[in-house]
Amino acid sequence: MKILVCISNVPDTTTKINFTDDHKSFVSNGVTFIINPYDEIALTRALEISEANAGSTVTVIHVGDASAEPTIRKALAIGATDAVRINANARDAFFVASQIANYAKEQGFDLILTGRESIDYNGAQVASMIGELLNIPSISIVKSLTLDGTTVTLEREIEGGKEVISCPLPLVASASEGMAEPRIAGMRGIMSARTKTLAVIEPSDVPALQTITNYDKPAPRSQVKLVNVDDVKGLVTLLNQEAKVI
């Protein structure tokens, strides 16, 4: 099995998000970056599958500049076989998906995994776009993925339930919580990651279709109205008459 895992380099979940005064860009000074949590789930599942199928490899790919290399090394420390960085500013999801699809076309992977979305731009686009660009199936927001020979059984989240899908390889899937429990890199992993291959490839030319021109933070809520613990009925009245939500 040749597995490709796409990883994104995102602000840690505890980050307080700030923008420049002109609202045009995210302030990354002092922000800790991590592997996108959903991508980490995808990586872990890829490693589990690889361990159960002798001779398998897990390649991680990232589209971005050199500042992401600590995150890529971390993926290698967790257990990926090797890594590729497409040396480009990730302008939009189509750009990223095109770079990954071009690489995958050359190399030929059986299984391509991503996270369900990145926790920074929340695009949830790359998996389906890669599938479309390679003309192979893509299944999004997958909470369970098992392999039996060349057939994959996936459980996909749907509103109020789940869908169980059977699919041949090759396939792209985007991982949601439940697909695997993320692993922590051990000391041996961290040591061996230093010597694993991290190839840097120049991007192919892809036009940008969109740009973010403005960022805002949600308006703060007005002061909380506290209801006395002895007056729970009063809360129901407020929700009905003032907030008009029940």
Partner 1 sequence: MSVLVYTEHAEGKFKKSSFEVVSYGAAIAQQLGTNLVALSIGNVSSDELNKLAQYGASKILSVSEDAYKSFVNQAYGAVIAQAAQKEGANVVVLSASFSGKGLAPRVAVKLNAAYVDGAVSLPDTTNGFMVRKGAFSGKAFADVSISSENKVIALMPNAYKVVENSQNPNVEAFTPVAGSNDFATMIKEIVRASDKVSLPDAELVVSAGRGMKGPENWGMIEELAQLLGAATACSKPVSDAHWRPHSEHVGQTGIAVSPNLYIAIGISGAIQHLAGVSSSKVIVVINKDPEAPFFKAADYGIVGDAFEVVPQLISAIKEFKAVNA
- Chain positions 21 to 40 lying near partner 1, rule: CB under 8 A, are 26, 37-38
**Distance of alpha carbon 36 from alpha carbon 118, whole angstroms:** 6
The token pair at 229 is 């613990």
The one-letter amino acid at 242: E
CB of 54 vs partner 1, minimal distance in Å: 27
Contact stretch for partner 1 (CB under 8 A) within 72-80, 104-112, 139-147, 198-206:
139-147
Give the count of residues interacting with partner 1 (CB under 8 A): 84
Angle at 103 between CA 195 and CA 211, to 5 degrees: 105
CB of 223 vs partner 1, minimal distance in Å: 9
> Which residue among 62, 73, 156, 196 contacts partner 1 (CB under 8 A)?
156
**Distance of alpha carbon 76 from alpha carbon 244, whole angstroms:** 52
> Which residue among 81, 110, 143, 183 contacts partner 1 (CB under 8 A)?
143
Interacting residues of 153 by C-beta distance below 8 A, sequence separation 6+: 144, 145, 146, 164, 165, 166, 167
Among positions 36-75, residues that touch partner 1 (CB under 8 A) are: 37-38
> Which residue among 21, 22, 184, 213 contacts partner 1 (CB under 8 A)?
213
Nearer to partner 1 (CB atom), residue 133 or residue 185: 133
Among positions 99-138, residues that touch partner 1 (CB under 8 A) are: 116-117, 119-129, 131-133, 135-138
Among positions 191-210, residues that touch partner 1 (CB under 8 A) are: 208-210
The token pair at 46 is 């890829």
**Distance of alpha carbon 184 from alpha carbon 166, whole angstroms:** 31
> Which residue among 7, 63, 73, 92 contacts partner 1 (CB under 8 A)?
92
In the numeric block, the tokens 């660009």 are attached to 133
Closest to 61 in 3D by CA, of 28, 41, 31, 35: 35
